[in-house]
Structure 1
Amino acid sequence: MESNDVRREWAERSGEYSPAYYAHLGSNEASELLVSTLAERVARDASVLELGCSSGRHLAALREAGFSDLTGVDVNADAIDVLVESFTELAADGAFHVAAIEEFLPDLPNDAFDVVFTVETLQHIHPDEAWVFDEIARITGEELVVVENEDREPGTTVEVRGGIPLYFRDWRREFTSRGLEEVDSATTKRDTVHVFEPEA
């Protein structure tokens, strides 16, 4: 599948893995871990960006915990509509954008957000678009939290339901090679969580 096809698949996604699907599931173990991680490391008024926010369930958990400067971006336009319906207060207080992250990130200044995080989103970035990891490192001011699947060898590609490719990578190596330092890691039932900070 070409990179444009991957983006189109997510932009048009309905049913399983759609924004409505994730809104129905609500917060999960990853949400709880994000809240506890950020609560230990940054102030509640830190600017926070979620890449691939879908219907906003992780940002909603952060808002519930007192974080106030929340931004999300997702390629699926339905995601924002579902967010408005499912998390009304978050929709009113946050800033949300419909765009592919490959289009959204290059226009941002260096250190644009104190915190950048992503949950099972970067694993769908096509190898041709790996430059986006440079952009993520560039816009991260204080903390980058990456929650992704690492249960296969880096370089492996598998297709999940509907033929969507999932690209396995060594996330520690991806971001330490881009000037970030890993300061913490953990595992959930599904994923590995990496916490990075810009090198001093």
Structure 2
Amino acid sequence: MDSNDVRREWADRSGEYSPTYYAHLGSDEASELLVSTLAERVSRDASVLELGCSSGRHLAALREAGFSDLTGVDVNADAIDVLVETYSELAATGTFHVAAIEDFLPDLPDDAFDVVFTVETLQHIHPDEAWVFEEIARVTGEQLVVVENEDREPGTTMEVRGGIPLYFRDWRSEFTSRGLVEVDSAATKRDTVHVFEPGR
């Protein structure tokens, strides 16, 4: 798959790993970790952006915890429709965009959001689009929280069900090499959580 194929796969996704699939699952361990991590580090009125928000389950958990300035972006247009149906209060108060993050981020100013976070989204970024990690670092004002898979050797690629490519990377290195400082990390059952701050 080239980078365009990967984006199309997610834009058209239905069934397993679709927005409806994740809405049915609801909040999870990653949601709880995001809430506890951000509650310790930023105020409840911090501006928060989720990259790859799908149906909004993690943002919904943050809203329930009192965070009020919430934005999400997802390449799948159905994600926002499912979000409106499933998390109507979040939909009414948050801001949501249908776009690939590779198209969305370059138009943002530096430090556009106090907090940027991802959950199992960056692991699907094609190697040709790795420049987007620089954009993520650029728009992060205070905290970047990355919840991604790290259970194989960096540089390894595998396909998960449905032929979706998963690209394994050393997330600490990816972002410290772009000027961020890692301030915390933890393991979940599925992923590794890294918390970064701008080094400037």
Structure 1 residue 198 corresponds to structure 2 residue 198:
yes
Q: Show the counterpart of 2:24.
A: 24
- C-alpha RMSD of matched pairs (Å): 0.3
Matched, 1:93 2:88: no
TM-score by length of 2: 1.00
Q: Deviations over 1:103-150 (max 9, x none)?
A: 000000000000000000000000000000000000000000000000
Q: Which residue of 1 aligns with 2:39?
A: 39
Find the counterpart in structure 1 of residue 48 from structure 2: 48
- Measured after TM superposition, the shift of residue 56 of structure 1 is 0.1
Q: Runs of at least 4 residues of structure 1 off by over 6 A?
A: none
Aligned to 1:10: 10
Paired position in structure 2 for 1:76: 76
* Equivalent-residue separation in structure 1 for 2:24 and 2:40 (angstroms): 28
Matches of 1:68 and 1:99 in 2, distance apart? Answer: 22
Structure 1: which amino acid aligns with 2:180?
Answer: L
Residue identity opposite 1:32 in structure 2: E
Q: What is the SS of the residue equivalent to 2:153?
A: coil
Letter in 2 for 1:107: D
Q: Deviations over 1:141-180 (max 9, x none)?
A: 0000000000000000000011110000000000000000
Q: Which amino acid in the other structure matches residue 42 of structure 2?
A: V
TM-score, normalised to structure 1, is 1.00
Task: Tell me the amino acid that sits aligned with residue 179 of structure 2.
Answer: G
Note the C-alpha offset of 1:45. Answer: 0.1
**Equivalences for residues 126-145 of structure 1 within 5 A:** 126-145=126-145
Aligned to 1:62: 62
In the alignment, what sits opposite 2:175?
175
Paired residues in the alignment total 200
Q: Return 5+ residue gaps in structure 2 as ranges.
A: none
